[in-house]
Amino acid sequence: MSLRGIRGATTVSDNEEGAILEATRELLEVVVERNRVCPEDIASVFVTMSPDLNATFPARGIRTLPGWKQVPLMCATEVDVPGALQKCIRLLVLANTDRDPSRIRHVYLRDARQLRPDLTDQ
Ligand SMILES: C=C(O[C@@H]1C=C(C(=O)O)C=C[C@H]1O)C(=O)O
């Protein structure tokens, strides 16, 4: 087992609590499913939101998922680069896995697919 980073990103249409929580949960669920990891394998999850999102802490969306209460979470505001993708939620999941780095599946959903076209639908 090695500790590997798995990236994810997605977008929401509004700075609204329910939308942020739902999109964060969906993104994490896809990361977990595509990489076949479970909460016990996860060392920590770091979440950022673009500066135009502040209606809630996205970590709350993760903590309410079954099995995720003990996983250390941290949220922060993404770097406010002019012209960067708006209303974007990003994840960095640190997971213990036997997967080779070349088989780690990073997940870019919705409008965030444009961030890394090289990693989309891999
Ligand atoms: C391009 C992205 O956004 C930003 C740039 C990153 C990068 O250059 O690797 C990583 C995270 C973000 O700070 C992304 O989320 O992939």
pLDDT digits (tens, 9 = 90+) for 71-120: 999 999 999 999 999 999 999 999 999 999 999 999 999 999 999 988 86
> Could you tell me whether strands 88-97 and 2-11 are parallel, antiparallel, or unpaired per DSSP bridges?
antiparallel
With a Cβ cut-off of 6 Å, ligand 1 is lined by: 9, 78-79, 90, 115-116
Q: Which atom of ligand 1 is nearest to the CA of 115?
A: 1
pLDDT reported for residue 120: 67
Report CA(40)–ligand 1 centroid distance (Å): 26
Percent of the chain topping pLDDT 70: 98
* Residue minimizing CA distance to atom 6 of ligand 1: 115
The CA 43 to ligand 1 mean position distance, Å, reads: 21
Residue-wise DSSP of 54-121? -SS-THHHHHTSTT-TTS-EEEEEPP--TTPPSSEEEEEEEEEE---GGG---EE-GGGGGT-TTTTT
What pLDDT score was predicted for residue 119? 83
Residues labelled as active-site residues: 7, 63, 75, 78, 90, 108, 116
- For ligand 1, atom 11: residue with the closest CA: 90
Tens digit of each residue's pLDDT (9 = 90 or more) over 31-61: 999 999 999 999 999 999 999 999 999 999 9
Q: Which residues pair with 75 in a beta bridge?
A: 47
pLDDT at 96: 98
Name the amino acid, one letter, at 51.
P
Domains of the chain and CATH, by start = 2-114 (3.30.1330.40)
Q: How far is the CA of 28 from the centre of ligand 1 (A)?
A: 17
With a cut of 70, say whether residue 23 has pLDDT above it. yes
